């Protein structure tokens, strides 16, 4: 909670001004019944027009002052709340950018999305309302009781019984409601998650005709949200009549005792009117309490969720001994007895991996699905850290490089290409800050996508995504390869990124990129791709079975022979 509200610091002055203006409104609200009592006693009951005009004018003046304070308070309250929301969204976004894959695994995307929308907005609204009215309500209760005692202590004594009763009851409601709102928030998360998965997987859902299944999943999530929200709001709404009942009883008691005392001549009529007026204002303020409880309970839940992300420890950072100026010059990669286990998995997915790729060499990694190929790739740019062993680049441990330097020298093309909405040109130049037109064209040509782009209606300016063209799998792969090539990486890593290309296009692509590159690692299922590499690494269940050239593996590995036979039959192909 404290972490989140520390974001209010830059707005301290504005919040202070807003609170002062709110106090002016409060003072007016508390003084009006007092002056009303005076007007009745000195003016109305004595038929004294001068007193009526005097007290009336004072009341109008005060009302005007309250109006001006209210408008100005609104201005400052929105400055504080919008500024706070902007700053915290900015900080959250930066924090999530720092997250490692392991950090990200702990937070589903839907939950992070809810933070930015629902949770931040919730706190923002509460801050605004606090500065406008929510802080005022308890102060009206306290001030109303104090003023009632000033006007007539014998009548006001009734408040001493009712107010502590109400405060105790409210604290109990607040505690219970806070837990209930936590549940509501989780239900919102779940609805968001189902929605997000559904929209992302719409094509698959249609292809599998799983509409009914998905509808049922959404309906269940939606029912859960409805029931949790309804239960919470009902609970809070049910507390309202209790509060008002107690307050109305005290008004009746004031009228009854006041009437008796005024007949006996011990109390002025104006005092009774003033105290009833205070009791009504206190009742009105208390009627706002259910709203305040809802807002604070939700805000507490939201603030805790945001704090959790803000204080999350980043588990993959620059090492203390990272050398600032050290850069990757040649692209030599060496694995020494590397084992790796995901933070969430039961056992290692890679065991004792050792191999070397010399600068300029091309290494193909081949192996069954789930054998650990992508996991091995992710260790090189330190998306995850190794569990045991060490990886060296240019004979230096990868931890001795700054993360930024290391990752900038690697062109990583993941298994499923991800393109951003926007023109094609931006998707390619995304790989390098201030990329020139020439660099973009060269990368696109090398990735064998230039011709295809030129055939599109708006060529490089063609929008990708909902309003633009939807590209084929192979076209997307080639754009994401162009995005990696534009960095002129010392090490290029293609994670099955040419799977959707026909053999001729793939061969042209690999030929084109080889000219510029130092080192290349390519995960592939195709023997035709692997056999042209300098070395092939055959991975099976996280273990290196063999490493060598195509010919060596054909002679040494039965598994490799089987893979080759499954793709080419008994006619083993030769290296080009």
CB–CB of 174/64 below 8 Å? no
In whole angstroms, give the CA distance from residue 4 to residue 550.
Answer: 58
Residue labelled with tokens 């009883």: 249
In whole angstroms, give the CA distance from residue 263 to residue 274.
Answer: 17
Residue 107 is a binding residue for ligand ATP (CB under 6 A): no
Residue 370 is a binding residue for ligand ATP (CB under 6 A): yes
In whole angstroms, how close is the CB of 473 to ligand ATP at the nearest point?
Answer: 15
Report the residue number, 254 or 537, with the smaller CB distance to ligand ATP: 537
Specify the DSSP class assigned to residue 332.
Answer: -
In whole angstroms, how close is the CB of 205 to ligand ATP at the nearest point?
Answer: 22
In whole angstroms, give the CA distance from residue 136 to residue 25.
Answer: 9
Whose CA is closest to 357, among 332, 374, 322, 340?
332
Residue 262 is a binding residue for ligand ATP (CB under 6 A): no
# residues near ligand ATP by CB under 6 A: 13
Residue 475 is a binding residue for ligand ATP (CB under 6 A): no
In whole angstroms, how close is the CB of 493 to ligand ATP at the nearest point?
Answer: 12
**Residues 324-343 vs ligand ATP: string with x where CB under 6 A?**
------------------x-
Report the residue number, 366 or 453, with the smaller CB distance to ligand ATP: 366
**Is residue 441 helix, strand or coil?**
helix
Residue 544 is a binding residue for ligand ATP (CB under 6 A): no
In whole angstroms, give the CA distance from residue 159 to residue 493.
Answer: 75
> What is the distance of C-alpha 46 from the center of its chain?
66
CB–CB of 198/219 below 8 Å? no
Report the residue number, 283 or 366, with the smaller CB distance to ligand ATP: 366
Residue 109 is a binding residue for ligand ATP (CB under 6 A): no
Residue 373 is a binding residue for ligand ATP (CB under 6 A): yes
In whole angstroms, how close is the CB of 125 to ligand ATP at the nearest point?
Answer: 37
Specify the DSSP class assigned to residue 468.
Answer: S
Which span sits near ligand ATP by CB under 6 A: 132-140, 198-206, 313-321, 367-375? 367-375
In whole angstroms, how close is the CB of 108 to ligand ATP at the nearest point?
Answer: 13
Looking at the chain, how many residues does it have? 576
In this structure, what are the phi and psi dihedrals at residue 493, rounded to the nearest 5 degrees? -125, 115
Residue 344 is a binding residue for ligand ATP (CB under 6 A): yes
102: its two tokens = 């392991």
Report the residue number, 372 or 489, with the smaller CB distance to ligand ATP: 372
In whole angstroms, how close is the CB of 348 to ligand ATP at the nearest point?
Answer: 9
In whole angstroms, how close is the CB of 557 to ligand ATP at the nearest point?
Answer: 17
Which span sits near ligand ATP by CB under 6 A: 161-169, 208-216, 314-322, 373-381? 373-381
What is the number of helices (H) and of strands (E) in the chain? 22, 12
CB–CB of 188/115 below 8 Å? no
Strands 333-340 and 388-393: antiparallel
Given 349, 393, 453, 485, the residue binding ligand ATP (CB under 6 A): 349
In whole angstroms, give the CA distance from residue 4 to residue 21.
Answer: 25
Cα separations in angstroms, 341 against 40, 101, 354, 378: 82, 13, 16, 12
In whole angstroms, give the CA distance from residue 326 to residue 303.
Answer: 41
Residue 369 is a binding residue for ligand ATP (CB under 6 A): yes
120: its two tokens = 């931040």
In whole angstroms, how close is the CB of 21 to ligand ATP at the nearest point?
Answer: 53
Strands 410-413 and 491-495: parallel
Cα separations in angstroms, 303 against 89, 172, 228, 384: 12, 20, 20, 30
In whole angstroms, how close is the CB of 377 to ligand ATP at the nearest point?
Answer: 8
Residue 281 is a binding residue for ligand ATP (CB under 6 A): no
**Is residue 496 helix, strand or coil?**
coil
In whole angstroms, how close is the CB of 101 to ligand ATP at the nearest point?
Answer: 7
Report the residue number, 146 or 543, with the smaller CB distance to ligand ATP: 543
In whole angstroms, give the CA distance from residue 81 to residue 61.
Answer: 30
Residue 386 is a binding residue for ligand ATP (CB under 6 A): no
Q: What radius of gyration, in Å, describes the C-alpha atoms of the chain? A: 36
Residue 530 is a binding residue for ligand ATP (CB under 6 A): no
Residue 526 is a binding residue for ligand ATP (CB under 6 A): no
In whole angstroms, give the CA distance from residue 134 to residue 131.
Answer: 7
Residue 400 is a binding residue for ligand ATP (CB under 6 A): no
Furthest CA-CA distance within the chain? 120
Report the residue number, 162 or 371, with the smaller CB distance to ligand ATP: 371
Given 72, 374, 399, 452, the residue binding ligand ATP (CB under 6 A): 374
In whole angstroms, how close is the CB of 342 to ligand ATP at the nearest point?
Answer: 3
In whole angstroms, how close is the CB of 313 to ligand ATP at the nearest point?
Answer: 19
Residue 375 is a binding residue for ligand ATP (CB under 6 A): yes
Residue 270 is a binding residue for ligand ATP (CB under 6 A): no
Residue labelled with tokens 């090398």: 446
In whole angstroms, how close is the CB of 109 to ligand ATP at the nearest point?
Answer: 14
In whole angstroms, how close is the CB of 540 to ligand ATP at the nearest point?
Answer: 10
In whole angstroms, give the CA distance from residue 452 to residue 458.
Answer: 11
In this structure, what are the phi and psi dihedrals at residue 290, rounded to the nearest 5 degrees? -65, -40
Report the residue number, 101 or 116, with the smaller CB distance to ligand ATP: 101
418: its two tokens = 């991800």
**Residues 411-450 vs ligand ATP: string with x where CB under 6 A?**
----x-----------------------------------
Residue 367 is a binding residue for ligand ATP (CB under 6 A): yes
Report the residue number, 277 or 371, with the smaller CB distance to ligand ATP: 371
Residue 381 is a binding residue for ligand ATP (CB under 6 A): no
Binding site for ligand ATP (CB under 6 A): 342, 344-345, 349, 367, 369-375, 415
């Amino acid at each position: 909670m404290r972490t989140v509200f520390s974001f209010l610091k830059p707005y301290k002055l504005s919040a202070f001004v807003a609170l002062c203006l709110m106090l002016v409104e409060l003072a007016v609200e508390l003084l009006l019944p007092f002056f009303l009592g005076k007007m009745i006693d000195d003016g109305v009951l004595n038929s004294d027009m001068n007193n009526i005009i005097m007290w009336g004018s004072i009341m109008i003046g005060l009302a005007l002052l309250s109006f001006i304070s209210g408008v100005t308070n609104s201005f400052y309250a929105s400055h504080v709340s919008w500024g706070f929301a902007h700053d915290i969204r900015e900080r959250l976004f930066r924090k999530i950018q720092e997250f490692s894959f392991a950090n990200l695994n702990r937070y589903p995307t839907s939950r992070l999305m809810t933070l930015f929308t629902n949770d931040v907005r919730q706190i923002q609204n509460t801050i605004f309302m606090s500065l406008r009215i929510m802080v005022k309500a308890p102060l009206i209760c306290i001030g109303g009781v104090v003023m009632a005692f000033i006007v007539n202590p014998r009548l006001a004594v009734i408040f001493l019984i009712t107010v502590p009763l109400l405060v105790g009851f409210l604290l109990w409601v607040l505690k219970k409601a806070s837990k209930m709102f936590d549940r509501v928030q989780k239900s919102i998360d779940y609805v968001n998650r189902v929605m997000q998965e559904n929209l992302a997987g719409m094509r698959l859902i249609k292809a599998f005709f799983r509409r009914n299944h998905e509808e049922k999943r959404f309906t269940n999530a939606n029912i859960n949200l409805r029931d949790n929200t309804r239960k919470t709001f009902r609970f809070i709404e049910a507390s309202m009549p209790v509060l008002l009942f107690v307050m109305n009883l005290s008004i009746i008691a004031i009228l009854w005792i006041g009437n008796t005392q005024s007949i006996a001549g011990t109390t002025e009529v104006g005092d009774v009117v003033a105290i009833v007026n205070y009791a009504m204002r206190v009742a009105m303020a208390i009627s706002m309490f259910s709203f305040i409880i809802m807002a604070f309970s939700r805000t507490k839940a939201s603030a805790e969720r945001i704090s959790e992300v803000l204080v999350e420890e980043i588990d993959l950072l620059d090492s203390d001994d990272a050398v600032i100026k050290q850069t990757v010059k040649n692209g030599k990669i060496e694995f020494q007895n590397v084992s790796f286990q995901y933070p969430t998995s039961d056992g290692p997915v890679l065991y004792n991996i050792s191999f070397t790729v010399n600068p300029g060499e091309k290494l193909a990694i081949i192996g069954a699905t789930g054998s650990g190929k992508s996991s091995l790739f992710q260790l090189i740019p330190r998306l995850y850290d190794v569990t045991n062993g060490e990886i060296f680049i240019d004979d230096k441990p990868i931890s001795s490089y700054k993360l930024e330097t290391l990752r900038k020298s690697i062109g990583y093309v993941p298994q499923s290409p991800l393109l951003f909405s926007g023109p094609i040109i931006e998707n390619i130049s995304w790989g390098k800050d201030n990329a020139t037109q020439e660099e973009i064209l060269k990368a696109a040509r090398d990735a064998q996508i230039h011709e295809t782009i030129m055939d599109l209606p708006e060529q490089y300016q063609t929008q990708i995504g909902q309003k633009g063209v939807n590209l084929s799998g192979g076209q997307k792969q080639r754009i994401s390869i162009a995005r990696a090539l534009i960095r002129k990486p010392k090490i290029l890593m293609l994670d099955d990124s040419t799977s959707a290309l026909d053999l001729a296009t793939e061969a042209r692509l690999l030929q084109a990129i080889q000219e510029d590159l130092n080192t290349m690692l390519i995960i592939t299922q195709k023997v035709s791709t692997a056999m042209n590499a300098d070395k092939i690494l055959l991975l099976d269940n996280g273990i290196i079975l063999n490493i060598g050239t195509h010919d060596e593996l054909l002679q040494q590995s039965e598994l490799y022979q089987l893979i080759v036979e499954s793709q080419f039959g008994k006619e083993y192909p030769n290296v080009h």
